[in-house]
Structure 1
């Protein structure tokens, strides 16, 4: 996301610029979650294009009409309409995310395989599953991972452990408990752009992927997301330090002022 009123002091300040434009001066990727609920207007897509630059990458979710209502079946017309509207941002989208409901289980894998032949080719896709069978380390999970590897499709990783470790004593945490999937964390990279929704320490896994010439997409969440920008910056700094003497150094970016206390809150560890 990029439109959070609580980020006025930490990101936007007195700037009168478009919030997305200011966000893109600091970070280089964002999740466009709004497309999950409906295909945006062409005007909105053009505005997002104007606010960003060629080195900035969106990750957009496919509409729930395709993934949840149609369950990936007979989705050709809806896919065509969606990508026609999104065409201005095709080259600025790093990963197109296919979020599937918990009801989408092992019996539906043939639908996923067929669907991955129907989406526009040459783009990068990520699949998020929530059915418990895909986290049991059995034949169903092996079949899913093989399918994703065969289609060069990334498996999206959700690390929600700290969210569910927090007691539900505030509206934000209660809401997070209701909306976030409580699934095990399996850090497998089935393609070159593993996508991690981050709630915990990943400073050990990220350098391994980077050393393998993979380009992870990392999204940081908290129950209310108020401190997410500071946490993202802090993680980047720590990862930068960890890679300083390797072949995979990270360039400096236009970072926010340092907030060292956030490292303790999220358990960041070098």
Structure 2
């Protein structure tokens, strides 16, 4: 058995909770979801497997303050930032594993260690990790307006975003307010829109969002296609700070 006192498995299904019960003992596992049907089904299936962890219906963003501190917090939903409650409820030295969503609809798993000062630091994992978003944390924004008339050609066509390595890099360069919906990039903060189809781009608003993608693609190639596990991540009450140090020693940081 692993030396884990308590584990919080956020927005999970029964199979994940069962695995944690096997590792840590059911008395030390709390699994939560906001949907009554999923919570009820999880309780039934876990009981059938011989496990009786704490299965609660609550908002995953709030964690479970009644059972703190947790040595492990595992999220099976994606977040743009680590919720403050998760940082507060994780014991110093404990681990937070969560998929961090990017602006392009993808994401990367992050493994962070809680520090005594309340922050959590770590690195991204190699494999992409695209999970459904934590719904309470990502309320739907206004729909993207249509792109403008006309268009231009681009060497960085729509397929560049299919590369998970590049889409991670590009998401950092787009900033925290840009969102992607299919072939459209939209920044609700200023109304900028870019629609790309193959190698044709239509844009509207004060900024050409696809120029950001083109510039990010050039810099990604210039940096020899950096892998996501080379990036550090720091989570605090103010948000996320992602860092990358190139082989020449130069460092870049992005906040969200």
Normalised by the shorter chain, which TM-score bucket?
under 0.3
The TM-score with structure 1 as length reference comes to 0.26
TM-score, structure 2 normalization: 0.27
Which one has a bigger Cα radius of gyration?
2
The structure in which a higher percent of residues are strand is: 2
